[in-house]
Structure 1
Amino acid sequence: MNFGQLTPLEFEELTAHIFRSRGFRTFLTPASGDGGIDIEAVYDGEVFKGTYLIQCKLWKNNVGEPQVRDLYGVVQDRQALKGILVTSSGFSPKAVRFAENKNIDLINGQTFIKLLKNINEHGKEINNYPIFSNQIKGFLEEDSFDAQMYHLLVDEIETNPTFEQPYMQLLELLLKSVLSIGKKSKYNGIINEISFYSNRYRDRFTKGRSNSEIGKRVGIDYIILLIHLLNGELTNVYSQINFIREAKFKGNITDQAYRAGIPTRYKPHITDIVRGLQQFISNQDINYYYIPFTTSFYYDDSNPYIRVVRPHTENISMSWIIDEFGINELEDIEQQKQLLAIYMEKE
């Protein structure tokens, strides 16, 4: 292979091609505002499932430690499963040493060619998505799920990736479906789907520093909090609460721009969830405790300078969520309660 004949975009597309052949869903990020990430790859298998952040370097010279360090910072910030740096050249010794014992993989030009050759030799068919299974796309087979609308919205997102509204409509469809489908959502891939499109929306539309974009980011971060709750990851729920609390808005709280961030909307939501967790870890009755669950979105364009996406929520019994979706089977429930009690001492 002659890397000199490729454009950077072609190199990214070939990299995505390699990952798709291994069952990943891939998304090429915008040219800017992506933290240097070129590809987001999501794996929905039972083992090692999560988000992988990929950076591509079509370089003649070796990639150095600063580039690997920058990728590692983004991986930590995004709480991704792993970062992967792919180059047509090689890596400096310092870069290799820095990546050791970290969730960073380095793929040089020689390895890249071998991976690509392996695909061609085995004649694997490449699709945008892996073959459907109960763990990946089983929700499409649910009688109550509107699969036709799902496909229309996904096609619209892929065709017009800078158009915001289809993302909101898709998340609304998926979130409402979780509540109607119940516990099967843990095993049919729909929660993974919410996570995938939430993070994709976050990366594409909330990277700026305006109050509007900060507000959207808080809204999406709240959905990610709900995903942790549905997955029974209670310690992650509390970590996400603190992450949301760190959002910094500009100007005076009476400033009209604050309508974009609507921090006052989320404060009672966060308070309700914290209280519910406190009740839970102290083994008190939570049958009458409710969690504000995002189920739909609406748009507020009354201010021409601020485009606001506001969430609607409905109150869902916390006991129903715990009983229906359970605690993460990989984590000990009593240990989670003890950790939460330590984290929440100052609440």
Structure 2
Amino acid sequence: MNEHSWILGLVVLAPALLLIEPGIEMMFGRRKGNHLYRKAKKHGISAISGMTWQQFEQLCEGYFKAKGYRVEMCGQGGADGGRDLILRKSGKRILVQCKHWRSRVGVAVVREMFGVMHAEKFDQVIIVGTSGFTRDAWTWSKGKSIRLMDANGLIT
């Protein structure tokens, strides 16, 4: 065995790891969002209302992956600075805030996310709310790089 045999081992091992990575990812639940998205499309709003906030974020992850975005999950365990998901597609970076609330999302949240979008140089912000948005939130978001999306938008 010579001193460069580790290079040969790396050349052989790297492709093997790439082949088993999807299986490892599946085992650790990284594809849970895809499953939750399919379940919500099949069973409708009732499936969403029965979810935890963590499952709702995973559902949103599955939705955006199905729409062709590369999705990075943030948060998942506490204060996330307004970042639940970061989407990437066609050179754009989009910030997503998921609100699994029983009440409508108000204008204060929309303004806050608009500020985070500018401070962190995102191209757009999407706020997904299970119970919709107040009239003030809709009015304030018009003409800005903000998309408000209710739960129906996830399953249609």
Question: Offset at 1:32?
Answer: 4.1
Identity of aligned residues (%): 29
1:37: Cα distance to partner?
1.2
- Relative distance call for 1:33 and 1:60 in structure 2 (3 A) is closer
Contact map agreement 1:88 1:112 (CA 8 A) in 2: no
Structure 2: gaps (5+ residues): 1-43
Partner of 1:41: 87
d(CA) in 2 for partners of 1:70, 1:101: 16
Native 8 Å contact 1:65 1:94 kept in 2: yes
Partner residue of 1:81?
A: 123
Question: Can you list the C-alpha shifts for 1:119-141, whole angstroms capped at 9, x where unaligned?
Answer: xxxxxxxxxxxxxxxxxxxxxxx
Count residues in correspondence. Answer: 110
What is the aligned partner in structure 2 of residue 101 from structure 1? 143
Contact 1:29 1:39 in 2 (8 A): yes
**How does 1:277-296 map onto structure 2 within 5 Å?**
none
Gap regions ≥5 residues in structure 1: 115-347
Asked if 1:90 corresponds to 2:132, the answer is: yes
Which one has the largest radius of gyration?
1
Q: CA deviation at 1:112?
A: 2.0
The runs of at least 4 aligned residues of structure 1 exceeding 4 Å deviation read none
RMSD value, Cα: 1.3
Q: 1:60–1:103: structure 2 CA closer, same or farther, 3 Å change rule?
A: same
CA distance in 1, matches of 2:122, 2:55: 25
Q: Is 2:69 the counterpart of 1:16?
A: no
Q: TM-score, normalised by structure 2?
A: 0.67
2:71 is matched with which residue: 19, 26, 31?
Answer: 26
Structure that is richer in strand per residue: 2
Distance 1:32 1:8 in 2: 11
> What is the CA-CA distance between 1:34 and the residue it aligns to?
3.0
| Structure 1 length-normalised TM | 0.31
Distance 2:53 2:111 in 1: 21
How far apart, CA to CA, are the structure 1 residues paired with 2:131 and 2:102?
6
Whole-angstrom CA distance in 1 between matches of 2:80 and 2:50? 26
The aligned amino acid for 1:104 is I
Name the CA distance, whole Å, in 1 between partners of 2:152 and 2:139: 19
> Deviation string for 1:240-279 (max 9, x for gaps)?
xxxxxxxxxxxxxxxxxxxxxxxxxxxxxxxxxxxxxxxx
Residue type at the aligned position of 1:20: K
The aligned amino acid for 1:21 is: A
Instruction: Tell me the CA shift for residue 111 of structure 1.
Output: 1.7
